[in-house]
Chain A
Amino acid sequence: MDIFSNWMMGLSVALQPYNLMIAVVGLILGIIVGVLPGLGGANGVAILIPITFTMSPTSAVILLACIYWGALYGGGICSILFNIPGEPWAVAVTFDGYPMAKSGRAGKALVLSFLSHGFGAIVGVVLLTFFAPIIAEFALKFGPPETAAVMVLTFSAMTRLGGKSALKSLVAIFLGFILAGVGMDIVSGKLRMTFGTVPLMGGFHFIVAVIGLFGIGEIFLTVEEGLKMEGVKAKVTLQDIWDGLRDLLRFRKILIMGSLIGCWLGIQPGGATPASFMAYGFAKSSAADKDQFGKGASSGIIAPEAAGHGAGTAATLPMITLGIPGSPTMAVIMGGLMIMGLQPGPMLFKEHADFVWGFIGSIWVANFLGLILVLAFAPAFAAILRIKFSILMPIIIYVCAIGAFAVNNRMIDIYYMIIFGIVGYLFKKLDYPMAPMVLALVLGNMAESAARQALIMGHGNPLIFFRPPIALPLMLLALILFFLPTLSKWRKKLSAKKATVQT
């Protein structure tokens, strides 16, 4: 068994004392980031990328990924105890988590959330371990047209799953690509869209954009709404863990379905947020006791939490095998890898197998460590939220500024960060999705060179993007995914019209 020996090797790398320590540090930081509203997984990772420049690539990716796992675990704490989602993917948990906590079963609600997270993570990582090598092997056959097709598929899936207006999603994608194009053109070496100014020559770094859009923008939203932290106090006792385990077994169908929904959405880039909503909707529609939902139903916690973490973990699969991140946070992690000179994609499995398997091993180890950490210290992490917001807020802005500066050691990036913050606030208010924009910013150069190389291969004939056998079905799938919702809407309208005509 080739996979098995590789897997053991990965685990042994992840279990080295130094990497274990890094994992624990990353998880704790991640949980804090997840608990705090206004600091999300994406910008938590973005801020810490400069620190990882001094580490070995494996340790660096363990640190960055652990922040993500920690943030996934931590998001639930805030939702359940304070009714304030610490992360976008924890919104669906507030529907049932908070009512359950309020009715005096806060400990049980937390345990249910954590265990579902753990289960979702296991399903995701099993999938990753067994399918990643197969997909990577397959992806070795990809040329530039196929790469371009995969990217089109990514963006069309993301556009449609975000549930936002298709036009606005398209604008976000185009803008991301335009911003990525600012600066030196990597093919011809010409300066683009700098308009003769020196500061624009360096271009826009995606880390700065992420910190601004997700960090600063989120803070504006939070202060506008006027945050009130009135939480439920909680202790996790052994009795709670026992109760939680029993409920988990009782609702095992929902647990498994939630995890699978999550994994599916993580692989075809949707991210953890739509996954958690979809799983919640599924659990609600399939439950026998529908009226319990919204009042603290166990399955209303299990489904979205398992799906959220499953999606987060499964998002690693397309990132590491195809170089296509399945969620915005994964996009940032991938950007970090690219800075270190590791280009995610099928070649990574051939050239840096030790790195890839160390990373996969660390996902196993880190998710178990994370589960233990949150089970043991949930009340301590919740206590962070009792710190006054007027202390937290300026410190968060300060940390964001450090992160933005440290990317390139440029002062101008801090100004960009504030501008991106304002843009992020407006985008959020007006319902422009930010995840596709960040993805476009990270993938910008890759997508552009793939498109240009493909066109050169096809001597300028755009039909090369539809070349069989691989690019054609991918492109068709992308087009179907993109136009299906619009078509079904039209059909509904048409049939409605017909109905009115006939009557």
Chain B
Amino acid sequence: MRKADIIVALGLMVVGLLAIADSIRLGFGWGMSGPEAGFFPFYMGLGTVICTLFIVLRTIKKYKKEGSGKPLVQEGGMTQILWVLLPAIGMVLLTELIGLHLATVLYLAFYMGAVGKMHWGKVIVLSILVPLAVYVLFDRIFLIPLPEGLWGKNIMALIP
């Protein structure tokens, strides 16, 4: 936990440093018409760097005194999280290719079948009905287009 605390704080410090670097490029002083574009981000970045520095120092002190503490992720929790995260990323990548609706059919079917170990009949019905309902609601009723991906339109055209 404490190691992760230090790493995350350092990561946030990098974000703060990036903000400062860009503010210096833009100028953070007093320009022709008041404060320049980099004025506000500069001080926000400065604040982030100072605060994270304190967090890192404090945590290192605690780390030396009391050891690393509890692990960040509970035992066995990591596999559970990856089982959620990886299919979700897979769905997003698929969306780029075949569109959100079709990717969801595959995603729901995969998750309910492989992880939920449900009866395949139920899996098929649910994983088609849910995206269909969303398609009707968004694309047809509210006229909000959802991502079609590279080939989504062509594949959807095949289905009457």
Contact = CB atoms under 8 A, between A and B. Distances in A.
B36 A390 contact: no
Interface residues of B, number: 71
A460 B5 CA distance: 38
Contact of B100 (A195, A402, A430): A402
Contacts of B111: 390, 393-394
Interface string B141-155: 011111100000000
Interface in A138-193: 165, 167-168, 170-171, 174-175, 177-178, 181, 185, 187-188, 190, 192-193
26 contacts: A165-B55, A167-B51, A170-B47, A171-B12, A171-B52, A174-B45, A174-B47, A174-B51, A175-B15, A185-B37, A193-B18, A193-B41, A216-B88, A224-B77, A394-B108, A394-B112, A401-B91, A401-B95, A402-B138, A402-B146, A405-B100, A411-B95, A415-B92, A422-B85, A429-B72, A456-B33
B136 interface: no
B74 to A, nearest CB: 6
A390 to B, nearest CB: 3
Contact of B44 (A165, A178, A216, A395): A178
Interface string A399-423: 0011001100101001100100010
User: Secondary structure of the A side of the interface?
Assistant: helix
Nearest to A447: B40
A451 B40 contact: yes
A54 interface: yes
A54 B41 contact: no
Contact of B40 (A50, A177, A402): A177
A15 interface: no
B120 interface: no
Chain A interface size, under 10 / 10 to 19 / 20 to 34 / 35 or more: 35 or more
A115 to B, nearest CB: 35
Contacts, number: 169
Q: Which 6 pairs, one residue from A and one from B, show the smallest C-beta to C-beta distance?
A: A390-B116, A224-B77, A456-B34, A394-B111, A174-B48, A190-B37
Nearest to A226: B80
Contacts of A177: 40-41, 44
B122 to A, nearest CB: 9
Interface in B11-68: 12, 15-16, 18-19, 22-23, 26, 30, 33-41, 44-45, 47-48, 51-52, 54-55, 58
A348 interface: no
A175 B146 contact: no
A212 B41 CA distance: 23
Contacts of A174: 16, 44-45, 47-48, 51
